[in-house]
Amino acid sequence: MAKNERLALLSVSDKRGLQDFARVLARLGFDLLSTGGTATELGRAGLAVTAIETFTGSPEILGGRVKTLHPLVHAGILARPTPEHLEELREQGGRPIDLVVVNLYPFRQTAARPGVTLAELIEQIDIGGPSMIRGAAKNHARVGVVCDPDDYVRIAAELESGNGRLSDATRLELAKKAFAHTASYDGAIATTLSGLGPGGSPDPSAWPKAFFVELELVQTLRYGENPHQRGAFYRTLPRQEGGCLAAAVQLQGKELSYNNILDADAAHQAASAFDGIAAVVIKHTNPCGAATGATLAAAYRQAREADPVSAFGGIVGLNREVDRETAQLLAETFLEAVVAPGFEPEALAALERKKDLRLLKVPPLSGGVPQLELKSVGGGVLAQDRDVVGDDLAEARVVSARPPTEAERRALDFTWRVSRHVKSNAIVLGRLADGGHGQTVAIGAGQMSRVDSVQIAVQKAGDRARGSVLGSDAFFPFRDGPDLAAAAGVTAIVQPGGSKRDAEVIAAANEHGMAMLFTGRRHFKHG
């Protein structure tokens, strides 16, 4: 091979941008050393490449399983720039390798493929790649390591401005990223394999015995829930492109706080519960008002008017792009943030004077596998699928003597959708407002007894409780809740059922002439 001053080793599965990057290296006087498919790709670009087997004097063996696992490769990477190391390397017929451009077999992509076999998974476990990446990262005082194709452009620019050399700071930064890359890769393998069933097939219903979560810092926060607590926001990796707050783009306003992020996520989740146009106002992660409407402005107006006192200082979740009319309504009240799929230019202009108001553009919820929800407890973590299972009240069971009217059923469907986003014990009073769209009347949340939540809801509703319907996230353990609701004028109830005293509760509904539906599914939101 040629004897330029510098040597780069390139061996990648993800070949995005490879040819352009390699052209820069060649122009800067790097000799290019490569393996199999990577060498072929570089050859197509007309670049001079030395094959690994030529460099080592040893052929690839075992069908390509062993090609870079050779002393001259790893000595070239790990050699320090001392006379002793360089002399020993020369005596062995080797050369220092200055740049390692390596990314790994696509294990995650293979594991995500339906019907993948254990044998296919095993073949996507890279051995030589992680060894080279880790060796280069360990020796970052001399060697640059590039494992992300998205870094090619900026690394090429620095090499060009630095006469083929990277700064100490850049090599350290790349080393940190490289160790995170191999840790992530090993974590994905360990998590996937520990979740396999006895026959070696992936079992989607099984929890892995070892579970590795990779987090990337999004931002440090001024403080946590309170000023004496530290706070930070991390996103899970690989990044989710849609349907999560970590993918949000802040278009305006002050820096988000810890509590803002919690409330914004609750607003996004609650607004996304509706297929039709909907608005939700959140305070302390609980909806204080929610509504659907023919327009976004109408939905927001109804949601705000459901509890205008609590709406002050709230966070609004909307499931449609914000238009000028809605923006003008939003500007009427002091709000902390607005979360929506987008904002029209006229809406941004209308909200521009509210300079502290945080505007978050968040992609719509993604379909497919439910997102994993993690909660820390002392010395451990609880894990569950996020509660995104849909409920169709057409399948609910009428257990009362009187079935609900069509209007009551539609109102019950609305309150049931809202109830899963309210902290338990959750009681939601709702009604059909203008144009037959749903609106919350009052909400009782987070109480130690369900009857207390009913009491709070009917007390907040006052006369507006008359003619409303009630949604309860879990069963009524006693008839006291329905009795209290009936006295306030509630006409129908939807609840999961399943209490030992269901018969007593149903009897109460019948005594008051109330309609009652059992869904058979609970929606606790415990914390």
Per-residue burial over 94-111, b = 16 or more CB atoms within 10 Å of its CB, e = otherwise: bbbbbbbbbbbbebeebb
Tell whether omega for the bond before 425 is within 30 degrees of 0, i.e. cis: yes
Which residue type does 268 have? H
Residue 130 and residue 188 in contact, taking contact as beta carbons nearer than 8 Å: no
Q: Residue with structure tokens 């207390």?
A: 452
CB atoms within 10 A of CB 457: 28
Residues 6+ apart with CB under 8 A from 158: 166, 167, 170
CB atoms within 10 A of CB 353: 8
Helix (H) or strand (E) holding 337: strand 335-340
Which of these, 231, 156, 215, 153, lies nearest to 183 by C-alpha position?
215
Catalytic residues: 138, 284
Tell whether omega for the bond before 198 is within 30 degrees of 0, i.e. cis: no
CA–CA separation, 19 and 504 (whole Å): 75
CA–CA separation, 425 and 444 (whole Å): 8
Per-residue burial over 67-86, b = 16 or more CB atoms within 10 Å of its CB, e = otherwise: bbebebbbbbbbbeeeeeee
Strand partners, 469: 430, 492
Which of these, 292, 313, 321, 289, lies nearest to 429 by C-alpha position?
289
Two tokens, residue 337: 């943030």
For 21, counting Cβ atoms within 10 Å of its Cβ (0-12 exposed, 13-18 middle, 19+ buried), the class is buried
Which of these, 417, 424, 488, lies nearest to 450 by C-alpha position?
424
- Long-range Cβ contacts of 31-36 (<8 Å, 24+ apart): 31/1, 31/2, 31/3, 31/4, 31/6, 31/7, 32/8, 33/1, 33/7, 33/8, 33/9, 33/97, 34/9, 34/10, 35/11, 35/60, 35/67, 35/68, 36/60, 36/64, 36/67
